[in-house]
Amino acid sequence: MPGQIAGATAGTAAFPAVPLQETVLLPERIGELTGLDGFGLGGELLATFLAAFLIGNLMLAMTGVAGPWAKRKITAAFTDRIAVNRLGPAGLFIIIADAVRLLSKELVVPENADRPAYDLAPIVVASSALLGFAVIPMGNGIHLADPEVGLAYVFAVSGIASLGLVMAGYASANKYSLLGGLRAVAQNVAYEIPLVVTGMSVVIFAGTLQMGEIVSAQAEPFVTIAGISIPSWYALVNPFAFVLFLVANFAEVGRNPFDTPEAPTEIVAGYQTEYSSVYFVLIYLGEFLHIFLGGAIIATIFLGGPAGPVLPGIVWFIIKIWAVFFATQWLRSAVPRVRIDQLIEIGWKGLLVLAFANLILTAVIVGLIA
């Protein structure tokens, strides 16, 4: 990848303190560490699989902490309660207890369900979210793949989830599920456009879709105040785009104030009404993975990826995506839900127009400077 190396060297020349963007990806690194790269193609494939397995389980572990424990603790703190505190330190062992509890529930399949679609939907929702993490640079060389179309790829695979949701909604043969599935797809398509168009305004700055290069482009100094050089994170260069992207992302992952697809006070639980046992776990897992994927995209294209002072890259990356997760939980406790018609109007009349205004303004300003 010649472009990536060029970007890294440009960063070094201007600003040596910035940590270098690692050019060695995780599969190769694991191949070197385990000696698997000496076994030809088979060894390389095994190393690649191990790397993918590591990434998958890292995100699974984060979801495990977030779902049964952190979500409850955060909501409890907002509503002045204590929440889980019986099992283990600060109630942390509830994660294990909940995993066993949920997996050992009886699987009740509604009698009119469309079987193949009903069974496939949870798998589609869970694995589509996981796929996006392939191109996210997580720091310390934890970066599975860096294709040239990275950003477009992330938007594409996270869009597959809409398919899973509409499958779940339709195949359950339940009116609440159908309404929830329809709402989910209407919402996802409405906010996908502002999300992608705002992401495009970042591409204008970076001049590339490759995640590694977008991160290294943000390492260059933006302004220097009192000898401290502030990196050109795109959240600082273009805060307007950052706010737009954040709002569109909350809608895309279906969190408050845009959680109309599962609105518990209106349509029970939307598309997941008829799902129990392991299927419920998978849909829930998929939703949390999507929140984290949204956080990972925000961290990568707006917050400098894994960059940050003192602490290692992976720690900064985790802090950044957990900050986005915390924001979703904050909104969950603090902001009322919008109605479905308001949601559509906000999306098409508000965010879409603002996103295009942002794109055109960015293009004009970048054009005048360049």
Candidate residues 84, 185, 219, 248; the one interacting with other proteins per rule CB under 8 A: 185
Distance from CA of residue 127 to its chain's centroid? Answer: 13
Q: Which stretch binds other proteins (CB under 8 A): 66-74, 118-126, 242-250, 320-328?
A: 118-126
Q: Which is nearer to other proteins, 84 or 185 (CB)?
A: 185
Of 232-291, which residues contact other proteins (CB under 8 A)?
268, 273-274, 277-278, 281-282
Per rule CB under 8 A, is residue 366 in the interface with other proteins? Answer: yes
Q: Which is nearer to other proteins, 31 or 308 (CB)?
A: 31
Residue positions counted in the chain: 370
Q: Which is nearer to other proteins, 197 or 296 (CB)?
A: 197
Candidate residues 65, 76, 243, 344; the one interacting with other proteins per rule CB under 8 A: 344
CB 184 within 8 A of CB 261: yes
Q: Which is nearer to other proteins, 225 or 370 (CB)?
A: 370
Per rule CB under 8 A, is residue 96 in the interface with other proteins? Answer: no
Number of residues this chain uses to bind other proteins (CB under 8 A): 95
Candidate residues 5, 20, 90, 108; the one interacting with other proteins per rule CB under 8 A: 108
- Number of Cβ within 10 Å of residue 41's Cβ equals 7
Per rule CB under 8 A, is residue 58 in the interface with other proteins? Answer: no
The contact mask relative to other proteins for 291-320 (x = CB under 8 A, - = no) is ------------------------------
The contact mask relative to other proteins for 208-227 (x = CB under 8 A, - = no) is xx------------------
Shortest spacing between CB 79 and other proteins, in angstroms: 26
The contact mask relative to other proteins for 20-49 (x = CB under 8 A, - = no) is -----xxxx------------x--xx--xx
The contact mask relative to other proteins for 151-170 (x = CB under 8 A, - = no) is -xx-----------------
